[in-house]
């Protein structure tokens, strides 16, 4: 291996057929590595570097330099403080390395101009790289809050962009590219959003925002409270929140109804859309799943998730008549029907169900649930499909019951026995509710609603309290009795 060093003047330096270390120092130098895997440094001045054959490393250093890597798998590097360069990777699988400022945030862009990839820094000391025949861009932001916007590169040789944010709150946004993205946020609260290829996004430490967009992407939040997003038109993704309280957010179609399901497979949560353009999310670790139906008549069926990390599912139906079916869920559900005539069915946990506008049907299921009808005449249904057991309902709080607006309590005889309207009693207090001859008793003092299974005998028998109306009173005509309510 030869070590070849120029002078402070204009030099012409040539290597050997073996591995050489060549440094031009000052002046406007021309350096040719010839054969071997060479390390070529231009130094100060306007330099022209030829890698020749072999897997070479070329760096122009300060000044506007020209790098022609030649054949082989070459690396052309730009370090903070270098000048604007023109690079040509030649034959082989070549990489452009860019190392940003150690302490200050860099504002980078990467786009195409014809067949050339154009890399710019827009702040600090600006520079420009004009690149041909290079397959990989490897950008290391180093310190500070760095940003990289990647545009369409389809007419260039670039096949992969790797971004490492380093320390700081970093941003990678690539909405218009189908080039593969690998992004690593590092420390800090990072924003990483890739394009239409199969990409890898890793947030690292901090509270990060990740979105893979189109393509089959892998998102890993790392430590911190991270948000991983799927929006309509994105591909099937693998998501892992890592340590912290992490959120998977799903946004459905704006104008059409989505048919969603959420279930477990081993210790992973599986989120599917079954209609429109189907997709699947495999969620390895995340504590919260937020689903926004947007437009159309949306549905979400939630199955048992007890083997996963999911602790809360939030559902917003948006416009349209939406269905939330959580009857098999043991995870807490917060659901809002928003606009439209919605059906909201809770599960075994303590759920919060809000019908929103229009006439909705709401059933809390098991658990001590908070039920809100919203505007319009809403139906609060108590039906378990079998004879009454207190564990089938818990004690639900109905926050805004208004019989004058058309709200109704729906009781079915399959659960409460062969009751009729004559079995409903409005009493003064809870004590009177347990000794009344009425089988369904409502306490005016507390708003509590009971199933008084043994009538006038002391106590409630096999019955119990199943609801509290917190906002207004209840009249006998506000209760509807059906033989069996089928959801």
Which residue(s) pair with 5 in the sheet? Answer: 23
Q: Check: CB of residue 269 under 8 Å from CB of residue 228.
A: no
Distance CA 221, CA 309 (A): 14
Which residue(s) pair with 86 in the sheet? Answer: 66, 130
Number of H helices, E strands in the chain: 2, 46
Residue with the two structure tokens 């993704």: 237
- Residues 6+ positions from 244 with CB-CB distance below 8 Å: 207, 221, 223, 224, 225, 226
Distance CA 21, CA 18 (A): 10
Return the SS3 of 392: helix
Taking 3-state DSSP, the helix, strand and coil percentages for the chain, each rounded to the nearest 5, stand at 5, 40, 55
> Of 401, 386, 381, whose CA–CA distance to 448 is shortest?
401
Q: 416: which DSSP letter?
A: H
Q: 80: which DSSP letter?
A: T
> Of 50, 49, 13, 18, whose CA–CA distance to 35 is shortest?
18
In tens digits, the chain (487 residues) has pLDDT values of: 789 999 999 999 999 999 999 999 999 999 999 999 999 999 999 999 999 999 999 999 999 999 999 999 999 999 999 999 999 999 999 999 999 999 999 999 999 999 999 999 999 999 999 999 999 999 999 999 999 999 999 999 999 999 999 999 999 999 999 999 999 999 999 999 999 999 999 999 999 999 999 999 999 999 999 999 999 999 999 999 999 999 999 999 999 999 999 999 999 999 999 999 999 999 999 999 999 999 999 999 999 999 999 999 999 999 999 999 999 999 999 999 999 999 999 999 999 999 999 999 999 999 999 999 999 999 999 999 999 999 999 999 999 999 999 999 999 999 999 999 999 999 999 999 999 999 999 999 999 999 999 999 999 999 999 999 997 789 999 999 999 999 8
Return the SS3 of 404: helix
**What ranges do the domains of the chain cover?**
245-362, 377-487
Which sign, positive or negative, has the C-alpha torsion 459, 460, 465, 471? Answer: negative
Through-space distance between the first and last CA atoms of the chain, rounded to whole angstroms: 80
What tokens does 50 get? Answer: 């030829």
């Amino acid at each position: 291996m030869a070590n070849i060093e120029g002078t402070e003047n204009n030099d012409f330096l040539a290597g050997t057929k073996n591995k050489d270390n060549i440094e031009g120092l000052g002046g406007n130098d021309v350096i040719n590595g010839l054969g071997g895997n060479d390390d070529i440094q231009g130094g100060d001045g306007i330099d022209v570097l030829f890698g020749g054959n072999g897997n070479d490393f070329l760096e122009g250093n300060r000044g506007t330099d020209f790098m022609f890597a030649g054949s082989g798998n070459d690396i052309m590097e730009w370090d903070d403080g270098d000048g604007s360069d023109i690079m040509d990777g030649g034959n082989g699988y070549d990489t452009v390395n860019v190392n940003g400022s150690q302490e200050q945030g860099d504002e980078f862009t990467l786009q195409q101009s014809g067949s050339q990839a154009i890399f710019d820094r827009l702040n600090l000391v600006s520079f420009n790289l004009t690149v041909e025949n290079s397959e990989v861009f490897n950008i290391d932001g180093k310190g500070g809050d760095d940003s990289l916007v990647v545009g369409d590169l389809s007419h260039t040789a670039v096949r992969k962009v790797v971004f490492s944010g380093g320390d700081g709150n970093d941003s990678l946004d690539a909405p218009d590219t189908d080039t593969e993205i690998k992004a690593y946020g590092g420390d800090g609260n990072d924003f990483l959003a890739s394009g239409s290829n199969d990409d890898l996004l890793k947030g690292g430490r901090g509270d990060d925002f990740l979105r893979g967009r189109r393509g089959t992407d892998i998102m890993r939040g790392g430590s911190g409270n991270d948000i991983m997003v799927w929006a309509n038109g994105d591909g099937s993704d693998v998501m892992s929140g890592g340590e912290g309280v992490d959120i998977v957010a799903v946004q459905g179609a704006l104008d059409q109804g989505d048919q969603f399901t959420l279930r477990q497979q081993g210790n992973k949560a599986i989120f599917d859309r079954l209609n429109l353009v189907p997709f699947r999310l495999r969620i390895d670790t995340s504590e919260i799943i937020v689903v926004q139906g947007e437009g159309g008549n949306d549905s979400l069926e939630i199955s048992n998730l007890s083997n996963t990390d999911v602790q809360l599912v939030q559902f917003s139906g948006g416009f349209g008549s939406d269905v939330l079916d959580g009857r098999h869920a043991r995870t807490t559900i917060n659901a809002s029907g928003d606009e439209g005539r919605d059906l909201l069915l809770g599960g075994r946990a303590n759920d919060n169900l809000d019908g929103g506008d229009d006439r909705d049907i709401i059933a809390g299921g098991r658990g001590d649930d908070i039920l809100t009808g919203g505007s319009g005449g809403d139906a609060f249904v108590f039906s378990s499909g079998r004879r009454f057991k207190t564990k089938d309902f818990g004690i639900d709080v109905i926050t805004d019951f208004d019989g004058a607006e058309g709200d109704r309590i729906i009781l079915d005889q399959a659960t409460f026995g062969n009751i009729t309207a004559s079995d409903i009693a409005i009493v003064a207090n809870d004590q009177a509710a347990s000794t009344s001859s009425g089988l369904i008793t409502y306490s005016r003092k507390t708003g509590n609603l009971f199933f008084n299974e043994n009538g006038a005998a002391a106590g409630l028998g096999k019955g119990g309290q199943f609801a509290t109306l917190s906002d207004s009173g209840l009249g006998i005509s506000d209760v509807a009795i059906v033989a069996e309510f089928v959801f």
